[in-house]
Structure 1
Amino acid sequence: MLEALSPQPADALLGLIKLFNADPRADKIDLGVGVYRTATGETPVFRAIKAAEARLVETQDSKSYLGPDGDMGFVHALIPYIFGTGFDRARVEGMQAPGGTGAVRLAVEVAKRAGVRRILMGVPSWPNHAQIVAAAGIELVTFGHVTPEGTADLDALKTALGQAGPGDCVMLHGCCHNPSGVDYTEAQWDEIAPLLASRNVLPLLDLAYQGLGAGMEADAYGLRRVLGAVPEALVAYSCDKNFGLYRDRVGAFYAVTSDAEALNRAMTNGASIARASWSMPPDHGAAAVRIILGDAALTAMWLSELDDMRDRMRQVRDRLAAAQHVGPIAMAPLGIQNGLFSILPLTPAQILTLRDKHGIYMAGSGRINIAGLTTGNIEQFIEALRTVAA
């Protein structure tokens, strides 16, 4: 029967990784892979994670199953950072998921069971968002997320919501938009929150990069503003980036409701879906996060490391923005964007030229990983960009 399967296209980013690894040039630049890199091009394990892992090795006395909910100490330790210390704890409950991807898939499946027929989503978006929605069998309705000036298109969201209602869900990035780096401003979130409430749609908030934009508190502004206005919402969270736990797949799914019965229904459905999907989430990374958040010294160490990451990416953005214009490409918007990613308006031919002639690798969409640039290669990148954009 397997011969009836149709071959599927290879993942473009994975193919790009192979091409980069095979390139013998010493000055090649990888702007494709979506991980943080230091000024020397490394993706290190956080010192706070190393310390927590050492403690875990010494104290963990069993590898027995935790159940579909995962490490609830981890899930609950994140709540004040995500929702704020003043949030009504009775309205929210969560469970562990394998990475932010698992959390998004769980949120989408719970939304489907709740009766959601359509998911509204700004584009461009993380490619896996559309794949997850399609795999769940839900209709995807898209609207533009970025204006020609490189800011968030609030009017497009308003138009989409104006045509939405019961049975619809709207998926929003909490901060550090992937792939554009274009976030809604606080003033825009102040408009979005009551609009979501008035349209009676279900918000699904994907918070995958908290702390990498303007700081842990500032990056949660939009999510908290929405949750203060709507009776219910779903949240997908990732620790893969802000704790550097990419390969350990550390995420969490949360439901926010207006009463205990609805919360129980959401979580029992989440547990049922998780049991049939991955049975139990991986424990090690989540346990390390729990240890960090339960120790004041380790928490301070982690936040300091996160500050360093954010400061480095801001320095790169400031240098790119200082270039003003590289040919017809306006670089200034990169300075007000956030997180790991931005999109450059390059043609496929220009992207191929950057790769073949200059050893610069980026996604076919023009998305670049800001953290792939360093003081040692940023001028090389700007000059190569100037050459192809002329």
Structure 2
Amino acid sequence: MNAPASSPLFSAIEMAPRDPILGITEAFNADQNPAKVNLGVGVYYDDNGKVPLLECVKQAEAILMEKFAPRTYLPIEGLAAYDKAVQELVFGADSAVVKEKRALTAQAIGGTGALKLGADFLQRFAPGSQVWISDPSWENHRALFESAGFTVNSYPYYDANTRGVNFDGMLAALQAMPAGSIVLLHACCHNPTGADLTDAQWTQVIAVVSQRGLIPFLDMAYQGFGDGIEADGQVVRRFAAAGGALFVSNS
């Protein structure tokens, strides 16, 4: 679709505010300081400040080039082999959820796309619910769920004085949430604080979520960057073992 920029439709449109994260990258690129370090975007850099091409990516691209397979449309839920591998990565290959085919996986455009897909699904099938995100959280969490039509609230999470989790405040907030509330939790490597719950604290959270009839939505964007692939995936697996509805976005 093409339309002249001078048309009435476009003349009334104002420039959107800069993205709070990518805007930092723009400022970083414009900075002339040779000692600058970009900590704004969750991208892996080597010691030279460059984004490396991982060896596994090189090999995967080489395999794809050798196959000369047709690039046709994927099924709506994505590539079946990929979905299966993701399920086993997230829940564990021996998980009852996977073996009993109680998990449904849909390939999305990255972790943000997965969150958007989940938010739209929940708005359609649980439209009266409210969403709760940690204070602070990745700011796009709020934007994604608000754009889906939800009211987004915050629950206490970070204690600046201790530089850790305000667990008492968090637990009290969970216990006070109405049944059917959607609570967004960071499965590992909390963004932006880096403060994660202990195993014992997760046990209490899982129990309260189950008892209160809350809908957990686990965002796991950094599996493997905390304590390793298996350890970082344990929270999702524990929620799955507890039963009940569960949403997971991972990338």
TM-score (norm 2): 0.89
Distance 2:246 2:47 in 1: 38
Distance 1:18 1:203 in 2: 35
Q: Is the 8 A contact 2:131 2:181 kept in 1?
A: yes
> Which stretches in structure 1 are left out of the alignment for 5+ residues?
239-390
Distance 1:162 1:29 in 2: 41
Report how far residue 137 of structure 1 moved. 0.8
Q: Which residue of 1 aligns with 2:54?
A: 46
Q: Is the 8 A contact 1:192 1:226 kept in 2?
A: no
Secondary structure (helix, strand or coil) at the match of 2:158 reads coil
**2:186 pairs with 154, 166, 173, which one?**
173
Q: Which residue of 1 aligns with 2:5?
A: none
1:12 paired with 2:26, answer: no
- Residue identity matched to 2:134: G
Q: Which residue of 1 aligns with 2:237?
A: 224
Report how far residue 230 of structure 1 moved. 3.2
Q: Which residue of 2 aligns with 1:95?
A: 106
User: 1:44 and 1:166, CA in 2 relative to 1: closer, same or farther beyond 3 A?
Assistant: same
1:225-244 equivalence runs, <5 A: 225-238=238-251
Q: Which residue of 1 aligns with 2:138?
A: 126
Secondary structure (helix, strand or coil) at the match of 1:57 reads helix
Secondary structure (helix, strand or coil) at the match of 2:119 reads helix
Report how far residue 219 of structure 1 moved. 0.4
- Residue identity matched to 1:105: K
Distance 1:179 1:19 in 2: 19
Distance 1:14 1:52 in 2: 28
Q: Which residue of 1 aligns with 2:77?
A: 69
Report how far residue 122 of structure 1 moved. 0.7
Distance 1:19 1:192 in 2: 39
Distance 1:15 1:100 in 2: 20
Q: Which residue of 1 aligns with 2:86?
A: 78
1:137 paired with 2:145, answer: no
1:107 paired with 2:118, answer: yes
Q: Is the 8 A contact 1:196 1:230 kept in 2?
A: no
Report how far residue 191 of structure 1 moved. 1.1
1:187 paired with 2:187, answer: no
Q: Which residue of 1 aligns with 2:38?
A: 30
Q: Which residue of 2 aligns with 1:57?
A: 65
- Residue identity matched to 1:171: L
Question: Which structure has greater helix proportion?
Answer: 1
Identity %: 35
**Greater relative contact order (Cα < 8 A, sep 6+):** 1
Q: Is the 8 A contact 2:156 2:173 kept in 1?
A: no
Q: Which residue of 2 aligns with 1:385?
A: none
TM-score (norm 1): 0.59
Q: Is the 8 A contact 1:120 1:170 kept in 2?
A: yes
Distance 2:102 2:167 in 1: 28
Report how far residue 212 of structure 1 moved. 0.2
Q: Is the 8 A contact 1:189 1:226 kept in 2?
A: no
Report how far residue 51 of structure 1 moved. 0.3
- Residue identity matched to 2:131: I
Q: Which residue of 2 aligns with 1:317?
A: none
Report how far residue 203 of structure 1 moved. 0.6
> Which stretches in structure 2 are left out of the alignment for 5+ residues?
1-8
Q: Is the 8 A contact 1:120 1:160 kept in 2?
A: no
